[in-house]
Chain A
Amino acid sequence: MFSFRGCGGRVAASFTKRQFPLPRLSSDSAGPRTPHFDVIVIGGGHAGTEAATAAARCGSRTLLLTHRVDTIGQMSCNPSFGGIGKGHLMREVDALDGLCSRICDQSGVHYKVLNRCKGPAVWGLRAQIDRKLYKQNMQKEILSTPLLTVQEGAVEDLILTEPEPEHTGKCRVSGVVLVDGSTVYSESVILTTGTFLRGMIIIGLEMHPAGRLGDQPSIGLAQTLEKLGFVVGRLKTGTPPRIAKESINFSILNKQTPDNPSLPFSFMNETVWIKPEDQLPCYLTHTNPRVDEIVLKNLHLNSHVKETIRGPRYCPSIESKVLRFPNRQHQVWLEPEGMDSDLIYPQGLSMTLPAELQEKMITCIRGLEKAKVIQPGYGVQYDYLDPRQITPSLETHLVQRLFFAGQINGTTGYEEAAAQGVIAGINASLRVNRKPPFVISRTEGYIGVLIDDLTTLGTSEPYRMFTSRVEFRLSLRPDNADSRLTLRGYKEAGCVSQQRYERACWMKSSLEEGISVLKSIEFSSSKWKNLIPEASISTSRSLPVRYTFLIQTFSHFL
């Protein structure tokens, strides 16, 4: 196995427009000057960046194609990473040497572990992230990854050839056609197009095609996929308005302070980049009956809410909360968007009312009486592909060597996207090298649960991770993701650096040593009784009792 990060002399990856210094030139009929990569990743979001860097870590010459290089690593919705279940995914991404956890440790402004009082299996590592810093750090990482080339361009079509007879699938992808008609060849292709497939933005009754506010959607690609016979569905999601920080009266609101000390996301970090006292607080406020009134009065101006396309139940817009649970106060968290950002993100106020009504509603809320809306909330509707059309390695059944990752598979959330990205990147690379796929089972990780749920059950609403989805929750903890996945990632996928591998090995052997020491401890039952009064051990046992016996028998006390 190999590692680029560990072996000193870094190869500077190239960022060029329309130039391909690294790839060899294709020798097939498409022409002698056509560039040829091992893996092409389409999309520079959370799935795309992880996929591209994972493929490159595995040794594949990789091309990342994105509409705009300056949006690589953009956090297009909430300014936070992690949470309950999502933090687990980030730890697993990190265990496979993925990026997002390390970048978050360099970019957070408020680190807090949720569920601290509920047992280590369900701790939720979470942080508010500085959008600008995250994007900067991510782009720095991407542009310095060896073997990874980044290019701007919109993909219009896929190049398809005869299938390999030893695999299922009616054809095989061998490259992409860009909007300008140029072609790029590759051994495999990963699609991470997020909400861009026929993306449509909705504010009030206005609708216009866009993948994200200000970005063009991908329409040609959506048509290509449909023509190939992929089953396409439609989902919707939304994002709240952004509010000017100085227009909020924080002094009358509940303040939430970060943890001290901060717990880093990555196994490779002992600390995060910022001291707890320098971190920013969050604030809590609540909706009131006047908010309900504005929602109910203006439903006729709100086409997003009325439509039947399934939205996420767990990321509901304020409109659907008011409709489903009337006459209640709903929480609104006011979250900083960054260290020097003038914006506040009102978590819980996702809405698609016409822009002028959004400000009217917001100013009804305590603390926001004078709030200025800088950017209105909006809804997004987009195509997704039924994930039952992909294998557990995220390759499509229909088209050989074509992989899907992220929101295109019907998921929601940065962490879910990143998790799929790593797996798609690894498997696209393994596929090129004719190695067996790297599949994580439900017993091994949250990533396994995520992908197994998607590929066997499909989804009819944006899929989000919850710990309640995980059958083996007690074993799949954030603290042991490295011993579960790092060694496998190193040996089977080659996506893990030497340094991380050695660290995981050290951790594993230390744990084993600790366990064997515990196993060797023997006391009389009366001594155990003194040490752990809660455990109802029969003191009549004359034989000494081992600690492990105690653990197995009385684990529910400890």
Chain B
Amino acid sequence: MYPKAPNDDRESLSTLLVVPRSGRGVLPRLEATQAGRAGGVAGCKSMWRGLWTLAAQAARGPRRLCTRRSSSALAPGSGATIFALSSGQGRCGVAVIRTSGPASGQALRILTAPRDLPPARHASLRLLSDPRSGEPLDRALVLWFPGPKSFTGEDCVEFHVHGGPAVVSGVLQALGSVPGLRPAEAGEFTRRAFAHGKLNLTEVEGLADLIHAETEAQRRQALRQLDGELGHLCRGWAETLTKALAHVEAYIDFGEDDNLEEGVLEQADIEVRALQVALGAHLRDARRGQRLRSGAHVVVTGPPNAGKSSLVNLLSRKPVSIVSPEPGTTRDVLETPVDLAGFPVLLSDTAGLREGVGPVEQEGVRRARESCNFLATVVASVGAQSHSDSSQRLLLVLNKSDLLSTEGPGPGPDMPPHLLLSCVTGEGLDGLLEALREELAAVCGDPSTGPPLLTRARHQHHLQGCLDALGHYKQSKDLALAAEALRVARGHLTRLTGGGGTEEILDIIFRDFCVGK
């Protein structure tokens, strides 16, 4: 449900339409890979446990429904210490090389011999030398983070070296020669942090988004997620649900013979209903976070020669489209990514809408209409005046305001609300940018206020799955089936939060009830 657009009741007399629309194309593909990878990590958590704790144990059952408690959880192959260049590739002032694992301290000692380990979490200047030749490599700032108070939870070292390629490769080679050290695989530092409970899955996703954030709003959203706000919200829901499930389970396992208090099931029903409401409300503005992550679409459309391409060039600050005084210069849909007021936007220039021209331009017009139609199918709910009966967010912009005579009549009084702009003088551009920012904030959500948004399709999928399962809970007559619905619902939530073992259920049962004989 989107906030009502300010331009609801306008006629479609638009000279020029600027239409934000939601993401498409790149989004599903990106989501699929991300979600797949994330799912892989989640799946691994329960499998690793089996592998580390009981390496000798042969065939186990298929994957657990739930992640087991990971008390003494160690990362896979945790014997190994990993190292990698953590800053970007290429010549630069300072490059950061990190290690993580039990041999980190040893590596630091060997590279900085004969000096001993510096004090923990203090920057110290050290001469790094190659352990094989003794040759000095660089004078570097080193930081020693003994576990578990480190990013990964293991012993970590950071070398802040000068950023020349020879220095970096020299230090990397020196580290490679230390016994027990090996180059890290992609994402392995984060994976270890995850395995040691330093980051949960949504925080890992937030970290990845923060690293890839290109606009200010994206950064704000990613940082909030890294701080665990989304995880926190989901954990709150998961706790409610786990409690409700525990009470239903208590009723199944103990209800008959033990004196559970009255109204255990009724209480669970109330909690489930409240959760349904909360999830439903959150899901309604769910896609905004995804849009912010992957970019909103803004289509510029209108009659030929209105100056659509000029506006696109103006907004993107580069000559994306060829402009000429001749109508019908743009014949195809041209897209360019821009940062508009901190929001990531894919800006589309389209062919002017007119009838009775050559086949090429007609195809361009068709495509232009199509990109608006597509929009109509994605953005829901706010009615506006377009050729289809749908709901688009429209900004009516009248270009070439520099041609209006200063004291002559302005646009007629019947004109719907609009913005005046001159692409030539730039007059009215600030007003347009402000209007766009408001529209985008409505479409993408404001990342600095309100509840944390769902930034990935995965989040939405699991929340929706949870909500659907809660629906089945109420419909089931057989209490075991009802409990199964809650288990499915909880399974979806724990994909976002981690945890979810049966011990948690039993802990709640024995905390809340005096059961057993």
**A interface residue numbers (CB < 8 A to B):** 78, 83-85, 114-115, 117-122, 124, 168, 312-316, 321, 324-325, 328-331, 333, 347-348, 350, 388, 391-392, 397, 439, 441-444, 448, 452, 455-457, 466-469, 471-474, 555-558
Rounded to whole Å, the gap between the CB of A130 and the closest CB of chain B is: 19
* Given A442-B64, A468-B502: A118 touches B480 (CB 8 Å cut-off): yes
Q: Which residues of the partner chain A approach B503 to less than 8 Å between Cβ atoms?
A: 457
- Per the bound structure, the CA–CA distance linking A372 and B58 in Å amounts to 55
- Per the bound structure, the CA–CA distance linking A518 and B355 in Å amounts to 62
Rounded to whole Å, the gap between the CB of A75 and the closest CB of chain B is: 15
Q: Which residues of the partner chain B approach A455 to less than 8 Å between Cβ atoms?
A: 54, 57
- Per the bound structure, the CA–CA distance linking A397 and B478 in Å amounts to 43
Tell me if B252 counts as interface (CB < 8 A to partner A): yes
Q: Are A124 and B472 in contact (CB under 8 A)?
A: no
**B interface residue numbers (CB < 8 A to A):** 49-50, 53-54, 56-62, 64-66, 68-69, 246, 249, 252-259, 472, 475-485, 487, 502-503, 505-506, 509-510, 514-517
Q: Are B56 and A331 in contact (CB under 8 A)?
A: no
Rounded to whole Å, the gap between the CB of B403 and the closest CB of chain A is: 59
Rounded to whole Å, the gap between the CB of B73 and the closest CB of chain A is: 12
* Given A333-B517, A473-B480: A118 touches B56 (CB 8 Å cut-off): no
Which of A78, A315, A448, A466 lies at the interface centre, i.e. has the most chain B CB atoms within 10 A of its CB?
A: A466
Q: Give the A-B pair count, Cβ closer than 8 A.
A: 132
Which of A117, A119, A348 lies at the interface centre, i.e. has the most chain B CB atoms within 10 A of its CB?
A: A119
* Given A468-B502, A473-B484: A122 touches B252 (CB 8 Å cut-off): yes
Taking A452-B61, A467-B253 as given, write out 14 further A-B residue pairs in contact, using a Cβ cutoff of 8 Å, ordered by the A residue number: A83-B257, A114-B256, A168-B56, A314-B515, A315-B516, A329-B259, A331-B257, A333-B257, A350-B517, A391-B57, A456-B53, A457-B69, A471-B66, A473-B480
Q: Which residues of the partner chain B approach A119 to less than 8 Å between Cβ atoms?
A: 478-481
Q: Are B480 and A84 in contact (CB under 8 A)?
A: no
Contact of B54 among A321, A456, A466, A555 (CB under 8 A): A456
Instruction: Output the nearest chain A residue to B476 by Cβ-Cβ distance.
Output: A556
* Given A85-B253, A115-B252, A388-B53: A439 touches B59 (CB 8 Å cut-off): yes
Q: Which residues of the partner chain A approach B255 to less than 8 Å between Cβ atoms?
A: 115, 118
* Given A388-B54, A457-B69: A331 touches B259 (CB 8 Å cut-off): yes
* Given A168-B56, A456-B53: A314 touches B257 (CB 8 Å cut-off): no
Q: Are A556 and B481 in contact (CB under 8 A)?
A: yes
Q: Which residues of the partner chain A approach B252 to less than 8 Å between Cβ atoms?
A: 84, 115, 118, 122, 467-468
- Per the bound structure, the CA–CA distance linking A350 and B516 in Å amounts to 11
Q: Are A330 and B259 in contact (CB under 8 A)?
A: yes
Q: Which residues of the partner chain A approach B476 to less than 8 Å between Cβ atoms?
A: 556-557
Instruction: Output the nearest chain B residue to A331 by Cβ-Cβ distance.
Output: B259
Which of A85, A314, A325, A455 lies at the interface centre, i.e. has the most chain B CB atoms within 10 A of its CB?
A: A314
Q: Are A441 and B62 in contact (CB under 8 A)?
A: yes
Q: Are B259 and A468 in contact (CB under 8 A)?
A: no
Contact of B61 among A85, A314, A442 (CB under 8 A): A442
- Per the bound structure, the CA–CA distance linking A329 and B246 in Å amounts to 22
- Per the bound structure, the CA–CA distance linking A189 and B174 in Å amounts to 54
Which of B50, B66, B502 lies at the interface centre, i.e. has the most chain A CB atoms within 10 A of its CB?
A: B502
- Per the bound structure, the CA–CA distance linking A397 and B475 in Å amounts to 48
Rounded to whole Å, the gap between the CB of A556 and the closest CB of chain B is: 4
* Given A84-B252, A328-B514: A557 touches B506 (CB 8 Å cut-off): no
* Given A119-B478, A556-B472: A468 touches B505 (CB 8 Å cut-off): yes
Q: Are A325 and B514 in contact (CB under 8 A)?
A: yes
Q: Are B480 and A443 in contact (CB under 8 A)?
A: no
Q: Are A468 and B509 in contact (CB under 8 A)?
A: yes
- Per the bound structure, the CA–CA distance linking A472 and B502 in Å amounts to 12
Which of B58, B257, B258, B517 lies at the interface centre, i.e. has the most chain A CB atoms within 10 A of its CB?
A: B517
Which of A117, A330, A468 lies at the interface centre, i.e. has the most chain B CB atoms within 10 A of its CB?
A: A468
7 shortest A-B CB distances, which residue pairs?
A: A441-B61, A119-B478, A314-B516, A119-B480, A468-B249, A325-B514, A471-B65
